[in-house]
Structure 1
Amino acid sequence: MHQPRHRRSALLPVLLLAAVTACSTDGGASSAGPAQPRSGGSLTYAAQQEPDCWDPHTSAQDVTAFVQRPVFDSLVHQTPDGKLEPWLAKSWKTSEGGRTYTFELRDDVTFHDGKHLDAAAVKANFDHITAKATQSQYAAGLLGPYEGTAVKGKYEVEVRFSRPYAPFLQAASTTYLGIASPASLKAGADKLCAGTGSVGSGPFEAGAYTRGQQRGYTRNAAYAWAPKDAGHSGPARLDAFTIRFLTEDATRVGALTSGQVDAAAALPANRIAAVRRDARLDVVTKDVPGAVDTFYLNTKSPLFSDERIRKAFQRSIDLDALVESVFQGTGTRAWSTLSPATPHSYDPALVNSWPYDRALAGRLLDRAGWTGRDAEGYRTKNGERLTVTAPVYGQASVFSQAVQGDLKKAGIDLRLAASTDATAVSAQLDEGRYDVVETSWARGDGDILSSFFLSTESSEGGGHNFARVTDPQVDAWLKKAQAATSPDERAAYYAKVQKWTTDHAAVVPAYVQKASVGVSKKVHGLRLSLSAWPEFYAAWVEAGR
C-alpha cells in the first residue's frame, strides 16, 4: 500500500507568518462587466509568490497549483460552490464500498504536444505521483490509502484503494492530481520542477519563463473540453496572459494602481479601501476553504501536556479585538480549524463556544501552579517563567506579534523563535522541541483535518499533526469520515473532530483566510475558484488591452 508523503517543506514558509494581506471584505467572487464578452487581447496579473518547484505532482505550494491550473486539467472539476462535476472524466462510479473508482474518459482530449488523453495517460500520471523519484510532498498524500491504477479499456481507468476513501473525488479535482502528457513526465524531476517541461491539456499552454520575474501563457486554440461550470465553452477568450512575480506588497499595489498590471493578488488590508475608491478598479474577494489560520498547541510538550495551561493560553487571547485591529475591520475571527467556506464540513455550533475569558485563564494557571510573577509581570512557578516557544520561519507577522502582546497581559511569554534556516526549523518540529505552531492550509474538503489530527501524521514523522494529537477516538472519526459516502455523515464526523480539538484546547483557531484581488474594470469574467485562486479561462478584456 502506498504511504502518503508529507509536505513539511512547503509549510515552513507560513509558520507564524500569518499574512495580513489575506483578509478583506467579502465583496464577491468574480469581476463584473457588460454582457458581451470578446475574444482576443491579453492581461498581466501580479502574484505575491513564485513557485519553488513548478511540478504540482512534486510541490505542495498553493502557488504551484495556481500557476499551473491554466496548463493542467483534472479528471473532476470542483465548482466554486463545492459541487463535483465531470471534466476529463465524463462519468465515474464507485464499487467495493468506495474502495474502487472507475472513470470513463472523454475521447476528444489532446495534450499540448499533440498526444491524446487515454486511460494509459491517467495511469502514467498516478504512477508518476507515487514514484519515489518524484518525491511528492502533497499529491501522493491526497491519494490516501492508494493501491494502484489499472487500464480497463482505451478510455476506462480504475483507481483502487486499500479501504473506502471518499475524499478522492475532491482530491482528483485539484491541480496536484492534474493530468500531464505522459511524454512530458519522462523529462525528469529537475526539468519539471524548473518549469520548462509543463505539458498539459488545459486552455493555456506554458510560454516563456524568466525566473524571478514572470511567466507567459498562450491560448490553446484546440481547447474544447471545459467543465460545464467554467463560464463558456471552446478556447479561452484571452490570446495570452502573463503572471509577474511581485513579492513586495507596495510594489504589487503600485503596479496595479499605475496600470502596469491589470490585476494583483493579496491586497494588504490597509490598502483595500483605497483600491475600492479608485474608479478604475474593483476588488474581488473570497473566503479560503480548508484549515484557517490556527495555533496548534503541542499536547506532548512539557508545558502543554497540561490541558489547563493549554486552555489558559486559548482563553487569554482576545481574538475578536485583535482581528478587528490588525485587519482594520476587514477580518473574520475563526471558531473552528475549518473555514466556513469548506463544503459539507464546517460546524457552526462552535461559534461562541470558547470565548475570550482572561479571568478563567488566570484561575486555570493558578490551579496549575503558575502563581508567581516576575519583574516584567510574567507568571512564574518555582522561579521559572511561563514561556511558550513558537518556531518562526522568516519574520514573525504583525498578527502573531499582536497575539504575543495579548498573552503578555495574561502573564504568558510567547517567544517567537525566528529563523531563516529551514533545516533547523524542520528539525525542531521533527523533534517536538516547540510548544505552538501557527499555520493554515487551503483545501476544498474537510479531510484536511486528517492531515492535522491523525496520529499517523505526527510532526515527529514529518507530518502536520503539530498538536501531536494521538487520540484513538479522533483517529476513528477521521477514518469513518473518509469511508462515509454521505456528505451529511462525513460532516457529522468532522464536527466531532472540530469540537474535540477546541474543547481540549489542542488548537486556537484565529482568523479565516480571505483572498483579495484588485482588478481593472477593463477586465471581466475573472473569477475566483473554490480555493480562491483566479481563473483565467473565462476572463476577457475590453478592446485596446
Structure 2
Amino acid sequence: MHRRLLALLGLGFILTALFIVAGQLEDGGKKERLTYALARYPATLDPTAVTDESGAAVLLNLYEGLVRFEPGGTGIEPALARDWNVSPDARTWTFYLQEDISFTDGTPLDAAAVRDAVERQLNPETAGPYASFVYGPVTRIETKGRHTVIFHLKHPYAPFIRNLAMLPAAVVRPSPDHGLPIGTGPFVPSAIESARITLKANPAYREGPPHLKEVLFVVIPDPHERWRALAQGRVDVAENTGAALPATGPDSLVIARTPGLDLSYLAFYTNKKPFDNPAVRRAASLAVNQQAIVDYLFPDRAVPAIGPLPPGTLGHHPTLGADAYNLEEARQLLDQAGYSGEEITLITYQDRRPYNPAGGEKLAHLLVEQLAQAGFKVRVEAYPWEICKHAIHRQEGHAFVFGWVGDNGDPDNFLYTLLASAQIQTGTNAARYSNPHVDMLLGRAQQVTDEALRERLYRQAQELIAADAPWVFLNHRLETAAHHPTVKNLVVQPTGGAYLAQVRKDDQ
C-alpha cells in the first residue's frame, strides 16, 4: 500500500470498506490523536502526481515546498526557504534555505536536494502532471553553496512564487523501495489502508514536534454520516458537511469556513448575436440574483461571487458587483438594446462540479427563470461534462454555464487564463472576450513582483471586465471543517484541508 500505484485505489473497492469504517470508528476524543473525516479517499499520496484537491488534507501535512500559502489564504510565507529575492528584471529568483532541516528519513535537505527534486520535474520522463504548469517558466536551476537555490526564468513571471506554494512543487526525494516520496512535513505515514490513513508526528520537524502524536484520516462519503460521526464524538473534525448541517444540533460544535479557489459563472459568446451587444450582456448580468441562487441551490456550501476572483485572493475587488442585481434596470436596458425576444440557447453540463454541487442543469434552469423575468427567452441544452466542453469550444448556442478551479491561488490564473485575448486560441477564453486595455493590465501584472502594484492593476482590469460583462459571476464554493471546541488552531485552506502542525486538542 506504500507504492504510488496502490494510492490510486478503485472507487468500488474503497466504498466497500467505507461503510465498515463509518460504523467502527474509535472514539475521536483521545487527546494526542486527531480523527479527521474526509469526503473521499485521496486520488494519490504523491504530491508530484496530484491532479485534484482530494488529498489536500493529508498531503499538506506530509510535504512542503520552498514556500507555502499562509493559513486560511493565498498569501505566501516561508517554508523550507527562510527568505528569497527577485532580480530587477524578475527573471532570477534566489531562495535561501533554512538550515538544519532534514527529510523525514533523516537525510539532510540542502540546495542539491532541492535542485534534484526540481530537475526530476523538468525531465519529461519523470515529470508529474502539473510539472509543466509549475516549472514552465524555468530555463534552469542552479545552486550556490549548501543553502542557496537560484531559478532562472524565460521571462518575468510574478505568479511563479505561488506556483512554488502548490503541492506539486513540494520538495521530495524518491523512496529507496519505490514507495511514497519522502518529504519534510510535520507528519509521516504510519499506516495506509483502504479507507483510512494514519500519520504519526515527525519529532524532527523544522518548527518543532507537532502537538498531536497521531492523525487518523477516515473516509465517510455521505455528508450526513460525517456530521453524525462528529456529533457522536467518533471523529474530531469533519470536512465539507455543507447542507448536512442540521438546523439544530450540538451548540458546542465549531464550523470553520473559507471560500474555495474557484468560480461558477454564466458566460456569453461575445462574438455572436445577441451577446455581441454589451448592453444585452449587461441586461442579463443585472437580471441574475446570485444570492437567491446560493440560498436555493447551495445553502452552507457556497458564497455569492461579486467578481471573478475569490475572496482572499490578491486583487479581489470587494465592491465590484456587490449591488449588481437590478431587475427593473435590466428590463429597461434590454428594451433599449433592441432585443426582440429571439430564443437563446444556454449550454450547460449535467454533472456536479466542485463549484456547483447541485449540478449544471439545476443551475441553468434557475438562471432561465431569472432571465425570463427581465424579458429573455431561454432554452437549456445539457450535456455530460466532456461533451459540454466540446460544444462550448465549437460555440454551440449563445451562452453557457461553466466554472473554473484555480491552480496556484494567483489572480493571473483566473483573469489572464480565462479572459485575456491571447487565450481565445487556447480555448480557455471561451467567451471570446477581447479588450486591449484589459490585456495590457493583465500583461503588466504578470511582470511586476510588487504585490501592491499587482493588486491595483488587477482591480483596474476587473472594473473594465465588469463594465464589458462577458460573464455573470455566480458563486464560489465554501471549504468547511466542522469540529469540536476542544480542537484548537484549525484553519481551513482555500485549497482544502488544513495545516495540522499547530493544531492541538485541549481538555473538555
**What residue in structure 2 maps to residue 152 of structure 1?**
144
1:338 to 299, 306, 309: 309
**Matched residues in 2 for 1:198 and 1:111: separation?**
10
1:118 aligns with 2:110: yes
- Establish whether residue 494 from structure 1 lines up as the match of residue 458 from structure 2: yes
Q: How does 1:245-394 map to 2 (within 5 A)?
A: 245-269=219-243, 271=245, 273-274=247-248, 277-288=249-260, 290-300=261-271, 304-328=275-299, 332-343=303-314, 345-352=315-322, 354-357=324-327, 360-361=330-331, 363-364=333-334, 367-369=337-339, 371=340, 379-380=341-342, 385-394=343-352
Change (3 A) 1:184 1:506: farther
> Partners in 1 of 2:411 and 2:116 — Cα distance?
28
Secondary structure, counterpart of 2:55 in structure 1: helix
What's the CA shift for 1:111?
A: 1.4
User: Using a 3 Å threshold, how does the CA distance of structure 1 residues 58 and 144 change in structure 2: closer, same or farther?
Assistant: same
Identity of matched residues, %: 23
| Pick aligned residue for 1:222 from 181, 186, 204 | 204
Partner of 1:84: 76
Using the size of structure 2 for normalisation, the TM-score is 0.81
SS in 2 for 1:206: strand
Residues 75, 339 of structure 1: CA spacing in aligned structure 2 closer, same or farther, 3 A cutoff?
same
Separation in 2, partners of 1:365, 1:50? 52
Distance 2:436 2:488 in 1: 50
Determine the C-alpha separation between the residues in 1 that align with 2:421 and 2:175.
37
Q: CA deviation at 1:518?
A: 0.9
| C-alpha spacing 1:416/1:180, structure 2 compared with 1 (3 Å) | farther
Bigger mean CA deviation after superposition, 92-101 or 250-259: 250-259
Structure 1 residue aligned with 2:24: none
Of stretches 133-142 and 514-523 in structure 1, the one that deviates more from structure 2 is: 133-142
Match of 1:209 among 192, 195, 204: 192
Unpaired runs of 5+ residues, structure 1, are 1-37, 188-195, 227-233, 372-378
SS at match of 2:89: helix
SS in 2 for 1:51: coil
Residue correspondences, number: 469
- Give the 5 Å matches for 1:371-520: 371=340, 379-380=341-342, 385-394=343-352, 395-396=359-360, 399-409=363-373, 410-415=375-380, 417-419=382-384, 423-433=386-396, 435-442=399-406, 443-448=408-413, 449-458=415-424, 461=426, 464-520=428-484
SS at 2:50 equivalent: coil
1:427 aligns to what SS in structure 2? helix
Q: Distance in 2 between matches of 1:56 and 1:324?
A: 36
Q: Which residue of 2 aligns with 1:48?
A: 39
User: Gaps (5+ residues) in structure 2?
Assistant: 1-28, 353-358
Aligned to 1:72: 63
How big is the alpha-carbon RMSD for the aligned residues of Structure 1 and Structure 2? 3.2
CA apart distance, 1:202: 0.4
In structure 2, distance between residues paired with 1:64 and 1:353? 37
Q: State the SS of the aligned residue for 1:70.
A: coil
Contact 2:224 / 2:241 at 8 angstroms: preserved in 1? no
Query: How far apart, CA to CA, are the structure 1 residues paired with 2:253 and 2:193?
Result: 28
SS across alignment from 1:518: strand
Go from structure 1 to structure 2 and tell me whether the alpha carbon gap of 1:468 and 1:218 turns closer, same or farther (over 3 Å shift): farther
Deviation, structure 1 residue 431: 4.0
Indicate which of 73, 88, 93 corresponds to 2:85: 93
Alpha-carbon distance between aligned partners in 1 of 2:279 and 2:127, rounded to the nearest angstrom: 40
| Deviation, structure 1 residue 205 | 1.2
Question: Aligned in 2, Cα 1:55/1:412: closer, same or farther, shift over 3 Å?
Answer: farther
User: Which amino acid in the other structure matches residue 498 of structure 2?
Assistant: P
Q: CA deviation at 1:389?
A: 1.1
Residue 30 of structure 1: aligned partner: none
User: What is the identity, as a one-letter code, of the residue corresponding to 2:40?
Assistant: Q
2:469 maps to a residue whose letter is A
Which residue of structure 2 lines up, in the alignment, with residue 241 of structure 1?
Answer: 215
Q: 1:527 Cα shift? A: 2.2
- Is the contact between residue 300 and residue 468 of structure 1 (CA under 8 Å) also seen in structure 2? yes
Q: Check conservation: 2:36, 2:235, Cα contact below 8 A.
A: yes
In structure 1, the residue matched to 2:20 is none
Instruction: Give the Å deviation of 1:301.
Output: 5.4
- What amino acid is aligned across from residue 200 of structure 2 in structure 1? T
Quote the Cα distance in structure 2 between the aligned partners of 1:49 and 1:170.
Answer: 26
Q: Secondary structure at the match of 2:402?
A: strand
1:215 Cα offset (Å): 2.2
Letter in 2 for 1:174: M
Instruction: Report the more deviating stretch, 446-455 or 93-102.
Output: 446-455
Alpha-carbon contact 2:60-2:497 (below 8 Å) kept: no
Letter of the aligned partner of 1:48 in structure 2?
Answer: A
User: Structure 2 CA distance, aligned partners of 1:90 and 1:317?
Assistant: 47
C-alpha deviation, 1:177, in angstroms: 1.4
TM-superposed CA distance for 1:303, in Å, is: 5.6
Alpha-carbon offset, residue 330 of structure 1: 8.4
Q: State the distance in 2 between where 1:155 and 1:245 align.
A: 40
**What does residue 59 of structure 1 align with?**
50
Moved more, 395-404 or 100-109: 395-404
Contact 2:138-2:154 within 8 A present in 1 as well: yes
Cα contact 1:297–1:304 (8 A) shared by 2? yes
C-alpha separation between the residues in 1 aligned to 2:390 and 2:67?
A: 37
Q: 1:470–1:160: structure 2 CA closer, same or farther, 3 Å change rule?
A: farther
Q: CA deviation at 1:260?
A: 2.6
The ranges of structure 1 where at least 4 consecutive aligned residues each deviate by more than 6 angstroms after the TM superposition are none
- Partners of 1:198 and 1:282 in 2: how far apart? 34
In 1, the alpha carbon distance for the partners of 2:326 and 2:40 equals 35
Q: How far 1:490 moved relative to its partner?
A: 0.6
* Corresponding residue number in structure 2 for 1:140: 132
CA distance in 2, matches of 1:425, 1:480: 33
Which residue of the partner structure matches residue 12 of structure 2? none
Letter in 1 for 2:334: L
Q: Secondary structure at the match of 1:476?
A: helix
2:97 aligned with 1:105: yes
Q: Cα 1:329–1:168, aligned 2, differ >3 Å: closer, same or farther?
A: closer
